[in-house]
Amino acid sequence: MAESFEFSFEGLEEFERDLKKAIEKAPAQAEETLAELAKEFKNAAKKKANAELKPHERKENQKKKAIKRKWGHKLVDDNLGATALVWNSARHFHLVENGHNLVRGGRVIGFVPGKHIMEKTRNDYKDIVPERFEKMVDDILKECDLD
């Protein structure tokens, strides 16, 4: 006893069109979201550094090459996707970040622990980044009538 089944799909063309629209929009929107997150991350790290580091007094002829002035960010695009880079180009930032030996008169007299500014900021953004990308996907789906 074989029964015949008949299937009918309506609106499949509209769904396909909306899905293609979402797929075309996603990479540009993801890159824009990543750029916004990189800028926000840089500003948060800069703010954290300013709060945790003591200001140093400088003499009149010394240049002000403080950590707070040397922040940068950019997007690096490769074939697999985009990556956000955030950095501080101050020559001594790695010492402040990771810690260093305290040397006086050529002798090591102690260790100055690192402030771990980037690590703390990264931990702050551990939950923010996935939420922002989920919101981005939801916005794309809503714009393309796929919600």
Structural domain boundaries, residue 113: 14-56+72-117+126-143
pLDDT band at 147 (very low <50, low <70, confident <90, very high): confident
Identify whether 80 is part of a domain. yes
What does the longest C-alpha to C-alpha distance in the chain come to? 99
pTM of the predicted model as reported, rounded to 2 decimal places? 0.81
Q: Structural domain tally of the chain?
A: 1
Among 92, 75, 96, CA closest to 31: 75
pLDDT of 114-133, one tens digit each?
999 999 999 999 999 999 99
Identify whether 18 is part of a domain. yes
Three-state SS for 25? helix
Identify whether 61 is part of a domain. no
Identify whether 67 is part of a domain. no
